[in-house]
Amino acid sequence: MEKRLLLDLSPEELAKELAARGQPSYRAEQIWDWVWRKLCLDFSAMTNLPLALREELSQRFFLDPFEVLARESDEEGTEKVLLALPDGASVEAVLIREEDRRTVCISTQVGCPVGCAFCATGQMGFVRNLSAGEIAAQVLYFARLLKAQGEHVTHVVVMGMGEPFLNYEATLKALNNLNDARGFGLGARRITVSTIGVVPGILRFAQEGRQYNLAISLHAPDDQLRGELVPLAARWPISQVLAAAEAYIAATARRVTFEYVLLRGVNDGLKHARALASLLRGKLAHVNLIPFNPAPGLPFERPDDGQIELFRRELLAQGIDVTVRRSKGVKIQAGCGQLRSRVLRGRCSSDEKSFEL
Ligand code: SF4
């Protein structure tokens, strides 16, 4: 019998599995506690379970889907891992330490079908969706690491490899499992899902009745430029994306973050700032500017600091709430997909290191 990843199950599915084997309902709660709260990776250590059940679980399930292929960290404590899955696929996850925050950035797909022109993952193409357990396990990986240091994960951002709303069910199941108070218990408002604007996904997300944060990557104020930078997004014109964002705001009363990567000479002019402002004026919205950091093989440059500040001020002057994502300047390539590209190319050189989150 092929073993299954236990993290793929919801609490209800786990209870059903155990009930089908004649186990009392509290066994599911005990196992959930071991896996999601105590972060246990070994069935034999679950000492409040009967030995026979522990053995049966270990024959039917596994708890850790990853082998660590590569790991990098910097002096600020940011850590990036490349994690191999049992079928040989691999994904990246990142831990960002900032003051009292411990944020884990996770992937939802192996590769990505969106093909953003400025993203290393986008250049790889799409391999497969991750399962709910494979998504959540990235958070648990860093949770174990932090636990050993007396710390814990405070935030999760779904901004790694892949488009979460093109793997909707698995992503939501993973987040709901992480949010479940009986186990990991990470507050919904500490979880952010970032989409390139998959309209059906945004509309569905609005109806979930959850308090997760939504970020939408716009990256351009008009459909033509957006289509060049974010090819798959051309399927959903900006007008539809904004209408879906309004529906999300109406359903949740929550602010939406619009992400905008700043590319020198491409989308960083004042005319772009004014056009962006006119799209968002009056909405419960916030703009997060992300100055691009150059990476090997990507034909873009970062605007200089003066231009970034001009862009920011223009948005502010137009009444738009705006922040600039801090450049951490760490000496690892933590931009999405870059570690994986480098390792798979077999050249882990230290001289191409720069990154921004
Ligand atoms: S930026 Fe995100 S959506 Fe775009 S290609 Fe990279 S992983 Fe996919």
CATH number of the domain enclosing 331: 3.20.20.70
Ligand 1 proximity of 259 Cβ (cutoff 6 Å):
no
Helices (H) and strands (E) in the chain, counts: 11, 14
Ligand 1 proximity of 163 Cβ (cutoff 6 Å):
yes
Quick one: average pLDDT of 153-174?
97
Quick one: average pLDDT of 51-73?
96
Predicted pLDDT of residue 331: 42
Tally the domains of the chain.
Answer: 2
Alpha-carbon gap, residue 26 to 49, rounded angstroms: 10
Shared domain check, 281 and 187: yes
Predicted pLDDT of residue 278: 97
Alpha-carbon gap, residue 264 to 300, rounded angstroms: 7
pLDDT tens readout for residues 255-295 = 999 999 999 999 999 999 999 999 999 999 999 999 998 88
* Centroid of ligand 1 to alpha carbon of 297 (angstroms): 15
- Closest ligand 1 atom, CA of 121? 6
Domain stops at, among 19, 39, 62: 62
210-235 CB burial, b ≥16 within 10 A, e <16: bebbbbbbbbbbebebbeebbbbbee
The protein residue whose alpha carbon is closest to atom 4 in ligand 1 is 116
CA torsion through residues 282, 288, 291, 293, sign: negative
**C-alpha angle 103-231-356 in degrees, rounded to nearest 5:** 30
- Closest ligand 1 atom, CA of 160? 7
Shared domain check, 177 and 38: no
Quick one: average pLDDT of 73-95?
94
Shared domain check, 162 and 256: yes
pLDDT tens readout for residues 220-242 = 999 999 999 999 988 999 999 99
* Centroid of ligand 1 to alpha carbon of 355 (angstroms): 16
E strand or H helix at 175, and its extent? helix 168-179
Beta-carbon neighbour count of residue 73 at 10 Å?
16
Ligand 1 proximity of 114 Cβ (cutoff 6 Å):
yes
Write down the catalytic residue from 72, 79, 92, 134.
92
* Centroid of ligand 1 to alpha carbon of 234 (angstroms): 14
Residue 32 lies in a domain: yes
Residue 357 lies in a domain: no
Show the tokens assigned to 72: 């990098």
Least Cα distance to 258 among 250, 248, 266 occurs for 248
Ligand 1 proximity of 336 Cβ (cutoff 6 Å):
yes
Strands (E), 59-137: 61-62, 67-73, 79-84, 90-98, 101-105, 109-111, 126-129
Shared domain check, 99 and 34: no
pTM confidence score: 0.92
- Asked if 336 is an active-site residue, the reply is yes
Shared domain check, 153 and 19: no
201 pLDDT exceeds 60?
yes
Q: Which domain holds residue 57?
A: 4-62
* Residue whose structure tokens are 């959930």: 32
Predicted pLDDT of residue 345: 54
- Asked if 92 is an active-site residue, the reply is yes
Ligand 1 proximity of 162 Cβ (cutoff 6 Å):
yes
Ligand 1 proximity of 335 Cβ (cutoff 6 Å):
no
